[in-house]
Every structure is written in C-alpha cells, then in structure tokens.
Amino acid sequence: MKKESLGLMSLAALGVVYGDIGTSPLYVMKTVFDPAHGLAVTASNIIGVVSLIFWAIMIVVTVKYITLILRADNHGEGGIMALLSLAGSSVSDRPRLRALLFMIGAFGAALFYGDGVITPAISVLSAVEGLEVATPLLQPYVLPITIGVLIALFLIQQRGTGGIGTLFGPVMLVWFATLSLSGAFNIASAPAILQAFDPRFAIHFCLDNGLLAFIAFGAVVLALTGGEALYADMGHFGVKPIRFTWYGCVLPALILNYLGQGALLLTDPAAISNPFFLLFPAWALYPVVALATAATVIASQAVISGVFSVTRQAIQLGFLPRMQILHTSDQKIGQIYIPFVNWILLIAVLMAVAGFGSSASLASAYGVAVTATMVIETLLTFFVLRFAWNYPLLAAIATTGFFLAIDTAFFAATLLKIFQGGWFPLIIGALIFFIMTTWHDGRNRLLEHLWSDDIPLEPFLESLLAQPPVRVAGTAVFLTSSINGVPHALLHNLAHNQVLHECVVFLRVSYHKIPSIPESERITVKPLPGNCYQITVHYGYKDEPDLPAALKICEQPGLEFEPLKTSYFISRETIVPSPRGGMAQWRERIFAAMARNAGNAAEYFNLPTNRVLELGTRIEI
C-alpha cells in the first residue's frame, strides 16, 4: 500500500471505525464512580480504576482484537458473521457442532442490535449533557435536544451518508486531538496519576475493594465498547490502516484522556459529577459540547450502518426474511439503507432515551450485549485457531482461554446490572434471535417440503418435449430453490397458459458462507434438452444480488437475455400452519406472517418489475 493511500485510508478508518470507542471517555469515569455503586473517590481508587481501564484496553483491544482477531480474515472480510463463517467451515465435517456454532454466532449477531440501540442513545445524550456543565439552566433542554439530534440522524439515512461521510475522518481527528490535549494538560497538574501504568495498582484496587471492584468492572467495560468494530470494518479499510490509526492516534488519545480525568479527580474529587467536560475551561465548554455531539453522531452513524450491513448478511444467510434494501451510492456498493430497520431502530432508540433519561441510567443498560458478544467472538476464535489454522490443542486453549477468562469476568460484572437496565439490550437481542431462529427453521422446513414434492427435472422435460406444447418467442426464467426439481411456476404456467417459451432457464440462487464470490465464478450453466438451461448464480453474504447483471455473463447463441424478450416467473408460496409435527403451531403462525410480509423477490433480485409474473401456491408446513 502506498504511503499516500495508507494515510487517506487511515483517515477514513478514523471516521468510521473508532467513533464508538473514541466517545467512551464521555461517560466511563462518571459511571465507575456513580454514587449508586458506592465506590469512594479516593486517590488509591482513582489510580486503580485508571490502571484497570488502561490494562483492559491494552489486553482486550490491543492484544486480542488488533493482534490476534484481525488475523482471522474471511476472504478479506471481518465481523462476527465472517468469524462465524470461518469457524463453521473449519468444522464442516462435524454437522452438529457446525449447527451449534451457527446458533451461537446468530445469537451474537442478534445482540449487536441491542448495541445498535444503546450506542446512539448513550453517546448523543452524554454529549448533550455537557450543556448542564456549562449552565444548569439548560438542564431541561437536554432530552429534547438529544431527541431532535437523533431524529435528524435517522432521517438523513435515506439520503445516504456519502456526502457527510467525507467529513467523518477530519472531525474525528480533531476530536482525538482534543482528547489528547485536554488529558495531557491535566496530567501536568497531578503527575501521580502516571502510576496507573503499573498493573499492581489495578490488582490492589481489585483486592482492596472486593465486590465494589467487581461492580466497577461492569463500568470499566464501557471503555472497550466499539473494540469489535475494528474487526467488523476490516473489509472496508484493510488491516494496515486500522492498526496504523490505532497505534498512531486512537490509543494515545484515549490513554491521555483517561489519565487526564484521573488527574483532575486527584486534585478535585467533586469533579466526578462530569469529569470529562470539567477537563475544559468554561470558555471552551460550548465548542467542546458541539464537537462531542458531532463525534457521537459519527459513532452512532457507524453503528447504524453496521446494523444495516448485519441485516443484509443475515438475510442472505437465511436468518431473516427479505426486506427492501436501497442503495444510497452509485460508487460504493456497501452503502445501503433498509427503511424498515431504520424506523424500528429509531423507535427503540427514542424509547431508550425517554425511558432511561440520562447517560448514567443508560450506562447500566450498556455493556451486557457488548460483553456477551466478546465472549462469543472469543469462543469462535478457538475453533478458528484449532481447526482452521491447526494450532495444537493446548496452544488454542491457552490463547483463547486467557481472553475468555477476562471476557467472562466483564460479562459476569455486567450481569449485576440486569435489573438496573441491562435487561433492555438483552430483550432486544433475545427478540431478534427468536425471529432469526423462527425464520431459519421455518425456511428450512419449507424447503424440505418443497424438495420432498419435487418432480425430477430432466425426466419431466423428456416427457414434456416428447409431445411439446406451443412454443412462443422469448426467454422464460423460472426462479427456483430446488437443485433438480421442476419449479411450481412452470407447472402453473403450463396448466393455465399451455405454452413453453423457445428458451427456458431454470435459475437458482446459491448463497455461500463466504463474503464474496469472484465474478469469474458467479455463474454455472448446465445445458438441458429442448433449448433449456439450468443456471446457478453464486453469491457471498456481502454480494449485491442482481440477477439480470449476473445473467449477462453467460449469454451465448441461443441463450440471450434481451430485456424486452425475457420474462421472469416467480413462485410465491402461501404458508399454511399445520398441526402435523414440525415447529410449534404458534411459531408456524409467526413464520407464516413473516413470509407474507417478506420483501418482494423481484425488488430484492433487481428484476425489471414489468417483466415479472408471480404464480402462487398454498403449502402446509
């Protein structure tokens, strides 16, 4: 990578990858010493907490994510779906274990939705709360301003973020510079805080405070939120820019700011009311509040885009029904907008802000979903180390066991906050997981039913062509989920219209558990008798489905797809719940409702709507 391109990619990564973890200093120290937790603001506790934050960042983010997990790229892609795919493929010869891993991974992906609700809520609210520090008279306006900012943020999603996205990097660069300078300035007033680099202070803090230290763990983990984004965005920026930006900018800025907040508390324990904003002189408060709000909007934008991306991947892996997906950029494929998800997410975020009312209350809800995801990613990493990279068993256990012990400790600490708000993201995650598993199980049973009733394609064609119906001009493309069965749409077309097109294509879409399929491997074609063809289009879970574009690849004499002479036939199944075995009937009813409201296949596959015919059939599952 050239020096110039590394710099530009690093600046872009700064704006997208590090927004979440970069805005954590707004609320971490205030949450650790929340009076409700009972931890005294003493010198030993302040140094111990800062030491704990420092070593948590170094071990979990720097060593685990930056050093180890960033190596687990799946064809250049990262994130829990990529890690799940990598772990699943490494145990492909063990179907039960593979199925278990996919359920665990799906639960981790579902928890990400809980994070997608809490992150915008706590980030923007904690930034706007800086107005209270400037003047208590503005306190009544904090919630309305927060709600207004969030509504505006979700409204602009449909317009795409390409234009404002170019500003993300420079704004975050100013933000991290502000973190560094404010921290360094305050360290000078109390250099004793530098003792926090000694891990013995973190150890003594834990030993001296017992249960209170364990409770503090649940707040310290807030300094790590967003660490998983380093891995999730690897496919967008590459490993080098992410590592370069972490070591060159983000890590020093975070450490300096946490040390600065600790130094401030050493000199003025009363500053615990809002140690971040009190780092600054009074004249700088309003500009810093504005900058913090911009930084938290950027952090929220990254999470919202991540939710859209995970949703699309889950759809293509068969865990969610089709939804309307709009592309907001002609240049960048990854920029998508999913209206249904956007508005549901906005409603949930506004409920969180209105229901919890302050960043301190939201902090109790934050962390549970993040730490659970961290545990799941560490478990999946074990299978990658052991079976994909062929590490010796003891080496794989030792490596992941160390991180798992830390992740589990953080997760256990956040569980103490279940009744204070931790239930909220867990309820969201559990609901999404239920939807995912219901759709996945129902879809598999539907496919099993369709395939069990399949009429073998090639014998059927031989019989049909022995006494062929009238053949009409043009190409008919029959979409099918079956490998070798006759599509129901063809049977209905023959029964009602009693004609067969001069060129017939049986088109199947195959999704693979890898991020992307090269264009050279996109299409497989199998000629059949009577100018018929069996075509399979292959996609990875991050590829954009576009069947007309894919079919252009395999055009040849006799097999042409002229837009005005090509018709697409789609079978639309009406699901009828049945008391015979299968899923519980109430789950079948939910699956049937989801199937009825699933997105239009023609839109999803980018088919020309004026060339699509849908033929329905009722199916009992």
The DSSP-derived string for 433-493 is: HHHHHHHHHHHHHHHHHHHHTPPBHHHHHHHHHHS--EEEEEEEEEE-S-SSB--HHHHHH
User: Quick check: 299 pLDDT over 90?
Assistant: no
Q: Which of 328, 417, 465, 354 is nearest to 125 (CA)?
A: 354
Q: List helix spans (H) across 135-161.
A: 142-155
DSSP string, 220-265: HGGGGTTTTHHHHTHHHH-HHHHHHHIIIIIHHHHHHHHHHHHHHH
- pLDDT computed for residue 434 by the predictor: 95
Share of the chain above pLDDT 70, in %: 96
Residue whose entry in the numeric block shows the structure tokens 């071990």: 59
Residue whose entry in the numeric block shows the structure tokens 């980030």: 123
Question: 494 in helix, strand or coil?
Answer: helix
- pLDDT computed for residue 2 by the predictor: 47
- pLDDT computed for residue 329 by the predictor: 60
pLDDT level of residue 332 (50, 70, 90 thresholds): low
| Residue 418 to residue 433: CA distance in whole angstroms | 19
Question: 360 in helix, strand or coil?
Answer: helix
User: Quick check: 309 pLDDT over 90?
Assistant: no
- pLDDT computed for residue 474 by the predictor: 92
User: Quick check: 254 pLDDT over 90?
Assistant: yes
| Residue 534 to residue 525: CA distance in whole angstroms | 6
Tokens for 324?
Answer: 């309307």
| Residue 58 to residue 224: CA distance in whole angstroms | 10
Tokens for 313?
Answer: 């991947």
- Which residue type, as a one-letter code, is found at position 34? D
- What average pLDDT does this structure show over 102-114? 89
Most confident of 205-219, 251-265, 541-555: 251-265
pLDDT level of residue 164 (50, 70, 90 thresholds): low
User: Quick check: 213 pLDDT over 70?
Assistant: yes
Tokens for 555?
Answer: 């055009």
Question: 39 in helix, strand or coil?
Answer: coil
Write the pLDDT tens digit of every residue in 2-58: 444 788 888 888 887 898 899 999 999 999 998 888 899 999 999 999 999 999 999
The residue among 606 and 332 whose pLDDT is bigger is 606
| Residue 310 to residue 273: CA distance in whole angstroms | 37
User: Quick check: 330 pLDDT over 60?
Assistant: no
Q: Which of 352, 532, 499 is nearest to 424 (CA)?
A: 352
pLDDT level of residue 1 (50, 70, 90 thresholds): very low
- What average pLDDT does this structure show over 502-525? 90
Contact present, 304 and 116 (Cβ < 8 Å) = yes
| Residue 236 to residue 238: CA distance in whole angstroms | 6
Question: 540 in helix, strand or coil?
Answer: strand
Tokens for 36?
Answer: 């409700």
- pLDDT computed for residue 265 by the predictor: 96
Write the pLDDT tens digit of every residue in 340-363: 999 999 999 999 999 998 888 888
**Residue 574: how many other CB atoms lie within 10 Å:** 11
- In terms of C-beta density within 10 A (0-12 exposed, 13-18 middle, 19 or more buried), how is residue 329 classed? middle
SS (H, E, C) 593-617: HHHHCCCCHHHHCCCCHHHEEEEEE
- pLDDT computed for residue 3 by the predictor: 47
Most confident of 21-25, 178-182, 282-286: 178-182
Share of the chain above pLDDT 90, in %: 51
Write the pLDDT tens digit of every residue in 62-95: 999 999 888 887 777 777 878 888 888 888 888 8
- In terms of C-beta density within 10 A (0-12 exposed, 13-18 middle, 19 or more buried), how is residue 441 classed? middle
- pLDDT computed for residue 298 by the predictor: 87
Instruction: Output the average pLDDT for the chain.
Output: 88
Range with the poorest average pLDDT among 8-12, 404-408, 464-468, 617-621: 617-621
Element (H, E) at 387: none
Bridge partners (DSSP) of residue 479 are 507
User: What CA–CA distances, in Å, run from 467 to 165, 456, 460?
Assistant: 61, 18, 12
| Residue 52 to residue 223: CA distance in whole angstroms | 10
Dihedral sign for Cα 375, 204, 274, 178, please: negative
31 conformational bin, left if phi > 0, alpha if psi -120 to 50, beta if neither: alpha
pTM of the model: 0.83
- pLDDT computed for residue 162 by the predictor: 54
pLDDT level of residue 209 (50, 70, 90 thresholds): very high
Write the pLDDT tens digit of every residue in 130-163: 888 877 888 889 999 999 999 998 998 887 655 5
- Hey, where are the domains in the chain? 3-119+168-279+364-441, 453-620
Write the pLDDT tens digit of every residue in 571-609: 887 787 777 656 888 898 899 899 888 888 888 999 998
Contact present, 550 and 523 (Cβ < 8 Å) = yes
| Residue 420 to residue 251: CA distance in whole angstroms | 31
